């Protein structure tokens, strides 16, 4: 694994990409009555909220908080400066498999700068608590909806039956609760829980409802990977504030495009690192942004895992395009980073420094990556596609917008199929399938190749403009008219909300 050099802390690198709030901020204006409704009603993709008159917003949560807004203005000015403040990376609270209640509610959180900002939170956390469970554990948790609109939680990456999958028809109203009860039957990996509420997913995720769900198993244990303080989840997303400094959801026709990045809900985060190897569990938690991840000194990442857990073998690679809802398991060796030196995790596409690492100079844990991480048998499917799905425009699959009551196709249980995903444009379309993981076998058109982080098992694959991607998939966990009902959809959440989703059953 390559060891990093760094940049002395006191010399500003020429290519620094400090997130700029000043030029991107929404114009200062007086709060008007329409502000209390701006999150929804004017947006055509929020047709459900429009129709129902649902008006959950953060807008009223901290209304009149002029003080917070003044702080934001002062901060925005300072950000044009090389001494822009960086704040310690927040690491979400961990919870074990036996968490009994998961409550969705508005909350005020500090994103690092001391200002309390309105978000929607799971158990008060932004992101929500990081679940740490093991294969075989049972999850028995009550979801409590303290929002003023429906919600339901989906366990992205966890293979569960219909009743536990959090699909759009399972939503619960304000004040209601939903009982989940399922066993984790899959291998170790980083998963992602978030609302999957019909036509409200994009808004609820954007306003803060998301968290990491880590599964561990004996295979992973045997690798003795960096752990404790040396294993850090990184939930990366973009965000925008309203005039009161609260998170806001203001998508355009091309999706929500936040003005600045957050990692684990922290503005301009910094993490002090010892001279050793760290394991980062990375999730793209954005609604509509692909991150092109790289380190500021050009060193490659060592990728050891992705959506579905460990890869067969580590891969040293940079940059990495990480689509929405995709995950990475990365090792970074900071053994060459001396006290006070910095190196940053960047998004080359947005020209943002996402996270600044600052060396402590203290000895860390060395780690030699094994040449083989896992045994992954290739899933052998047909040479020709069993089914083809075209992702049309911004709202259709095979020409159809989502209808929660229409079953579009049925898949035989236990049979290996080859699914083809195609698009002519309006990408990125990260295609996510519920109910099974798949293996990506080809990409033609567009980027024209597969990448090391797409090997092994995946549940989300990035489809860029004019690409055709084939995956091999086999549903072998749940089946039946009820238990076997799942969705497949685009994880550009505004596309999903507009209808780029389909129902199917595993029979
Ligand atoms: Cu899409």
CA of 493 to the centre of ligand 1 (A): 8
Concatenated DSSP letters for 212-267? EEEEE-HHHHTTT---GGGEEEEEEEEE-B-TTS-B----BTTB---SEEEETTEE
CA of 467 to the centre of ligand 1 (A): 13
CA 126, distance to chain mean position in Å, is: 13
Q: For residues 305 and 316, what is the distance between their CA atoms, to the nearest angstrom?
A: 12
CA of 43 to the centre of ligand 1 (A): 18
Confidence of residue 3 (pLDDT cuts 50, 70, 90): low
Q: For residues 259 and 27, what is the distance between their CA atoms, to the nearest angstrom?
A: 13
CA of 490 to the centre of ligand 1 (A): 5
CA 341, distance to chain mean position in Å, is: 29
Q: What is the pLDDT of residue 33?
A: 33
Mean pLDDT value across the chain: 87
CA of 199 to the centre of ligand 1 (A): 14
Mean pLDDT to the nearest integer, 143-169:
97
Mean pLDDT to the nearest integer, 330-341:
97
Mean pLDDT to the nearest integer, 246-259:
94
Q: What is the pLDDT of residue 147?
A: 98
Q: Measured on CA atoms in the order 75, 79, 84, 85, is the torsion positive or negative?
A: positive
Cis omega (within 30 of 0) on the bond before 149? no
CA 403, distance to chain mean position in Å, is: 25
Q: What is the pLDDT of residue 83?
A: 59
The answer on pLDDT for 216 being more than 70 is yes
Q: For residues 466 and 447, what is the distance between their CA atoms, to the nearest angstrom?
A: 9
| φ, ψ at 47 (rounded to 5°) | -65, -30
Q: What is the pLDDT of residue 347?
A: 98
Tens of pLDDT, residue by residue over 253-292, are: 789 999 999 999 999 999 999 999 999 999 999 999 999 9
CA of 221 to the centre of ligand 1 (A): 36
Q: What is the pLDDT of residue 148?
A: 96
The answer on pLDDT for 193 being more than 50 is yes
- 456 and 418 Cβ atoms separated by less than 8 Å: no
Mean pLDDT to the nearest integer, 24-48:
34
Which one is predicted more confidently, 62 or 250?
250
CA of 500 to the centre of ligand 1 (A): 7
Q: Tell me which residue of 409, 454, 455, 453 sits closest to 435, measured CA to CA.
A: 409
Mean pLDDT to the nearest integer, 334-357:
97
The answer on pLDDT for 23 being more than 70 is no
Tens of pLDDT, residue by residue over 400-443, are: 999 999 999 999 999 999 999 999 999 999 999 999 999 999 99
Q: In sequence order, which residues have a C-beta less than 8 Å from that of residue 437 and are 6 or more positions away?
A: 157, 159, 186, 307, 308, 457, 458, 459, 473
What is the percent of the chain where pLDDT is above 90?
83
Which one is predicted more confidently, 78 or 496?
496
Q: Tell me which residue of 125, 176, 178 sits closest to 155, measured CA to CA.
A: 178
Q: What is the pLDDT of residue 354?
A: 98
The answer on pLDDT for 222 being more than 90 is yes
CA of 256 to the centre of ligand 1 (A): 12
Q: Tell me which residue of 244, 249, 250, 285 sits closest to 265, measured CA to CA.
A: 285
Q: How much is the pTM?
A: 0.87
CA of 427 to the centre of ligand 1 (A): 6
CA 100, distance to chain mean position in Å, is: 24
Q: What is the pLDDT of residue 253?
A: 75
Four-CA torsion 394, 397, 401, 406, nearest 10 degrees: -160
Confidence of residue 2 (pLDDT cuts 50, 70, 90): low
Confidence of residue 51 (pLDDT cuts 50, 70, 90): very low
Q: How many CB atoms lie within 10 A of CB 14?
A: 6
Q: Tell me which residue of 413, 404, 506 sits closest to 152, measured CA to CA.
A: 404
Please give the helix or strand (H or E) that residue 434 lies within, else none.
none
- 316 and 333 Cβ atoms separated by less than 8 Å: no
What is the percent of the chain where pLDDT is above 70?
84
Task: Give per-residue burial for 197-222: e unless 16+ CB within 10 Å, then b.
Answer: bbbbbbbbbbbbbbbbbbbbbeebee
CA of 328 to the centre of ligand 1 (A): 21
Confidence of residue 13 (pLDDT cuts 50, 70, 90): very low
Q: How many CA atoms lie within 13 A of 429 on its CB side?
A: 34
The answer on pLDDT for 15 being more than 80 is no
Q: What is the pLDDT of residue 254?
A: 86
Tens of pLDDT, residue by residue over 58-115, are: 433 443 333 433 344 334 333 333 457 999 999 999 999 999 999 999 999 999 999 9
Q: Tell me which residue of 258, 269, 238 sits closest to 110, measured CA to CA.
A: 269
CA of 466 to the centre of ligand 1 (A): 13
Q: How many CB atoms lie within 10 A of CB 136?
A: 11
Concatenated DSSP letters for 29-58? ----GGGGGTTTTT-TT-HHHHHHT----S
- 95 and 132 Cβ atoms separated by less than 8 Å: yes
Q: Tell me which residue of 491, 385, 469 sits closest to 423, measured CA to CA.
A: 469
- 487 and 167 Cβ atoms separated by less than 8 Å: yes
Q: Tell me which residue of 128, 171, 173, 127 sits closest to 152, measured CA to CA.
A: 171
Structure tokens at 455: 């090997």
The answer on pLDDT for 19 being more than 90 is no
Concatenated DSSP letters for 403-428? -TT---EEE-TT-EEEEEEEESSS--
CA of 460 to the centre of ligand 1 (A): 12
The owner of tokens 């934001």 is 72
Mean pLDDT to the nearest integer, 26-43:
33
CA of 218 to the centre of ligand 1 (A): 36
Q: Tell me which residue of 121, 119, 120, 123 sits closest to 99, measured CA to CA.
A: 123
Residues forming a β-bridge with 431 = 461, 490
Q: In sequence order, which residues have a C-beta less than 8 Å from that of residue 74 and are 6 or more positions away?
A: none
The answer on pLDDT for 337 being more than 60 is yes
The owner of tokens 């030699």 is 368
Distances (CA, A) of 123 to 107, 175, 334: 9, 15, 34
């Amino acid at each position: 694994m390559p060891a990093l050099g760094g940049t002395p802390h006191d010399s500003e690198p020429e290519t620094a990409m400090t997130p700029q709030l000043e030029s991107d901020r929404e114009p200062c204006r007086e709060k008007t009555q329409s502000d209390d409704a701006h999150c929804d009603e004017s947006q055509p993709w929020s047709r459900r909220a429009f129709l129902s008159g649902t008006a959950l917003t953060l807008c009223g949560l901290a209304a009149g908080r002029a003080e917070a807004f003044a702080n934001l203005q002062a901060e925005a000015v300072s950000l044009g400066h090389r001494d822009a403040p960086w704040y310690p990376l927040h690491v979400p609270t961990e919870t074990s498999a036996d968490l009994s209640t998961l409550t969705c509610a508005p909350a005020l959180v500090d994103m690092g700068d001391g200002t309390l900002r309105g978000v929607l939170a799971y158990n008060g956390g932004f992101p929500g608590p990081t679940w740490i469970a093991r294969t075989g554990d049972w999850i028995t948790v009550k979801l409590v909806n303290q929002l003023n609109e429906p919600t339901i939680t989906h366990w992205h990456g966890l293979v569960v039956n219909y009743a536990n999958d959090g699909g759009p028809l399972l939503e619960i109203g304000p004040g209601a609760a939903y009982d989940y009860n399922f066993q984790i039957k899959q291998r170790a990996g980083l998963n992602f829980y978030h609302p999957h509420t019909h036509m409200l997913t994009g808004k609820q995720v954007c306003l803060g409802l998301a968290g990491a769900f880590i599964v561990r198993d004996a295979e992973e244990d045997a690798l003795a990977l960096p752990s404790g303080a040396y294993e850090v989840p990184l939930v990366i997303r973009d965000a925008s504030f309203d005039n009161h400094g609260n998170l806001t959801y203001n998508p355009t026709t091309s999706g929500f495009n936040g003005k600045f990045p957050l990692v684990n809900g922290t503005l301009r985060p910094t993490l002090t690192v010892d001279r050793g190897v760290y394991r980062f569990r990375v999730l793209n938690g954005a609604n509509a942004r692909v991150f092109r991840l790289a380190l500021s000194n050009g060193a490659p990442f060592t990728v050891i895992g992705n959506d579905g857990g460990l890869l067969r073998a580590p891969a040293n690679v940079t940059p990495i395009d990480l689509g929405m809802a995709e995950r990475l398991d990365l090792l970074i060796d900071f053994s060459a980073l001396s006290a006070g030196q910095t190196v940053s995790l960047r998004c080359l596409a947005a020209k943002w420094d996402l996270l600044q690492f600052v060396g402590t100079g203290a000895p860390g844990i060395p780690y030699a990556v094994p040449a083989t991480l896992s045994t992954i048998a290739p899933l052998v499917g047909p040479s020709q596609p069993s089914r083809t799905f075209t992702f049309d425009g911004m709202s259709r699959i095979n020409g159809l917008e989502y209808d929660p009551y229409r079953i579009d196709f049925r898949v035989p249980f236990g049979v290996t199929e080859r699914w083809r995903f195609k698009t002519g444009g309006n990408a990125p379309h990260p295609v996510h399938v519920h109910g099974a993981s798949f293996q990506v076998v080809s990409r033609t058109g567009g980027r024209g190749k597969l990448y090391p982080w797409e090997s092994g098992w995946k549940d989300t694959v990035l489809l860029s403009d004019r690409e055709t991607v084939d995956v091999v998939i086999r549903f072998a966990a749940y089946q039946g008219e009820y238990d076997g009902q799942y969705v497949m959809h685009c994880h550009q959440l505004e596309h999903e909300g507009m209808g780029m989703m389909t129902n199917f059953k595993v029979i």
